[in-house]
């Protein structure tokens, strides 16, 4: 059998490429090869592109693990092809590639994992597919890309799958402070931990605290504190007011009428949320149906938390208490109702409660992942239409993956239905867009 000369040469070139460590970048040639080397631990050479500007010809080298061990943001190196030096300079793009409208998390974003030319030859584009944004306590990984100008300065960054964190939220935390609550410090610890897990701020989440026994008392209103640190400090100083009765529904009605008033800091259009924490059956349960109906009519989302410590300590059946607090909670109750065995156990649910508050309808994301973990820019390919780039998004639609068409004017994300029949992905593992 005769060998195909072209195929033989190609095979030899491939063997040569794979035999050289990834930490070396080189140009293929039979003589006069110039070798550029860089840190192997940074994955120097993961991507390479030739680039020309008014200063000369360059080899651009992606280094997606550039940075410290715990913070590999990634970067691009420029290596002068015609100069006498074989050294490369890092462009230090990591801190410049960001989105001004969200809370950026660029730790380990892998900038330089992709590298491609743009529509104009004097620019190039790179992406950090593991760039994240923080919404409340949630982290999303939509990925980020940026074009870089002829002077190696990044232009405006873009993230086609950027997530909307949701609108403002006003929360009334209604805490039972009657005599049966014991000890009190775990209640304070719970309040602090819950507030730590909320996205506190004048444009995000505001919280007020109302303590009750016989009568409800406002500890502070929604607009009393503007920062997370200040509201946590205020909650830490709340003392138990005690009381011989537990008038839960009077407290809920008081909160409905007063907590969400504009004069007390409530904002038009903000989602209304109540968190009710109590350890006993109410003395005013005759008010329940009317009070809950009014809350429903005003679209107030309610979380009910039953603390069973007093009942367990005194060997009292908890069935009626649990039924009452479930009747306070919004439906479905498995999402809005909690019960704990003792005051000390409240701390264990504070984080989960914070996440559920953030994810209520109209503010957070629920259900299957769509583009929240899409990692746009995992791969990049310039199409024959020079003004369009295809970006791979491997994490889209629960890791089925998709493709984004990007031009300087707009980005178009292919919907899940575009590839459904082709992929037949029942296990969400296609990772479409892994290469481009």
235: DSSP letter? H
Nearest to 103 by CA among 194, 200, 170, 193: 200
Cα→Cα distances 69→66, 113, 129, Å: 9, 17, 18
- Upper half-sphere CA count for residue 2 (Cβ side, 13 Å): 3
Question: How would you label 269-286 residue by residue, b for 16+ Cβ within 10 Å and e otherwise?
Answer: ebbbbbbbbbbbbbbbbe
Helix, strand or coil for residue 131? Answer: coil
Cβ-based burial of 382 (10 A; exposed 0-12, middle 13-18, buried ≥19): middle
Helix, strand or coil for residue 218? Answer: strand
23's CB contacts (< 8 A; 6+ apart) are 37, 38, 39, 40, 43, 44, 45
Q: Are strands 337-340 and 300-307 parallel, antiparallel or unpaired?
A: parallel
Residues in the chain with pLDDT values less than 70 = 1-31, 121, 137, 361-369, 385-386
**What are the pLDDT digits (tens) for 371-386?**
889 999 999 988 876 6
Neighbours of 68 (CB within 10 A): 8
In this prediction, residue 176 carries a pLDDT of 97
- CB distance 124 to 60 below 8 Å: yes
Read out DSSP for 290-339?
Answer: HHHHHHHHTTEEEEEEEE-HHHHHTT---HHHHHHHHHHSPSSHHHHEEE
Which phi and psi angles does 347 have, rounded to 5°? -60, -30
In this prediction, residue 34 carries a pLDDT of 83
**What are the pLDDT digits (tens) for 40-99?**
889 999 999 999 888 889 999 999 999 877 788 999 999 998 877 788 999 999 889 999
Q: Which domains, from first to last, does the chain contain?
A: 40-164+402-422 (no CATH), 169-358 (3.40.50.410)
In this prediction, residue 382 carries a pLDDT of 84
Helix, strand or coil for residue 170? Answer: strand
In this prediction, residue 25 carries a pLDDT of 58
Q: How far apart are CA 240 and CA 188, in angstroms?
A: 9
In this prediction the pTM is: 0.65
Task: Provide the token pair at 5.
Answer: 């000369």
Which phi and psi angles does 286 have, rounded to 5°? -65, -20
Q: Bridge partners of 57?
A: 52
Give Cα 330 distance to the centre of its chain: 25
Task: Provide the token pair at 415.
Answer: 């919907």
């Amino acid at each position: 059998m005769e060998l195909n000369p072209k195929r033989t040469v190609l095979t030899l070139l491939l063997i040569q490429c794979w035999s050289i460590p990834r930490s070396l970048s080189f140009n293929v040639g039979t003589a006069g090869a110039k070798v550029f080397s860089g840190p192997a631990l940074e994955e120097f050479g993961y991507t390479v592109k030739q680039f020309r500007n008014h200063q000369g010809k360059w080899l651009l080298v992606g280094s997606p693990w550039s940075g410290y061990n715990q913070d590999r943001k990634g970067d691009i190196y420029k290596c002068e092809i015609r100069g006498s030096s074989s050294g490369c300079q890092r462009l230090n793009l990591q801190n410049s590639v960001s989105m001004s409208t969200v809370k950026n998390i660029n730790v380990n974003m892998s900038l330089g994992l992709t590298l491609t030319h743009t529509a104009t030859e004097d620019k190039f584009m790179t992406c950090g597919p593991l760039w994240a944004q923080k919404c409340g306590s949630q982290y999303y990984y939509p990925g980020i890309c940026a074009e870089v100008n002829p002077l190696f300065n990044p232009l405006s960054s873009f993230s086609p799958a950027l997530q909307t964190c949701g609108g403002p939220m006003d929360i009334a935390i209604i805490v039972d402070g009657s005599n049966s609550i014991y000890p009190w410090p775990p209640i304070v610890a719970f309040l602090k931990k819950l507030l730590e897990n909320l996205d506190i701020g004048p444009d995000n989440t505001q919280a007020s605290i109302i303590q009750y026994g016989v009568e409800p008392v406002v500890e502070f209103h929604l607009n009393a504190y503007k920062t997370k640190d200040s509201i946590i400090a205020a909650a830490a100083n709340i003392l138990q007011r005690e009381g011989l009765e537990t008038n839960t529904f009077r407290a809920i009605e008081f909160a409905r009428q007063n907590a969400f008033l504009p004069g007390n800091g409530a904002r038009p259009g903000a989602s209304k949320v109540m968190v009710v924490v109590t350890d006993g059956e109410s003395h005013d349960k005759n008010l329940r149906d009317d009070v809950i109906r009014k809350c429903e009519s005003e679209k107030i989302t309610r979380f009910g938390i039953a603390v069973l410590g007093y009942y367990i300590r005194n060997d009292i059946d908890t069935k009626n208490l649990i039924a009452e607090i479930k009747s306070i909670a919004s439906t479905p109750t498995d999402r809005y109702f909690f019960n704990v065995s003792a005051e000390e156990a409240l701390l264990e649910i504070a984080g989960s409660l914070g996440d559920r508050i953030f994810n209520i309808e109209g503010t957070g994301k629920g259900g299957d992942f769509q583009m929240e973990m899409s990692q746009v820019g995992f791969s990049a390919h310039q199409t024959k239409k020079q003004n369009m780039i295809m970006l791979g998004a491997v994490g889209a639609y629960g890791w089925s993956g998709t493709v984004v068409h990007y031009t300087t004017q707009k980005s178009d994300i292919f919907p899940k239905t575009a590839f459904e029949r082709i992929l037949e992905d029942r296990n969400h593992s296609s990772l479409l867009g892994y290469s481009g």
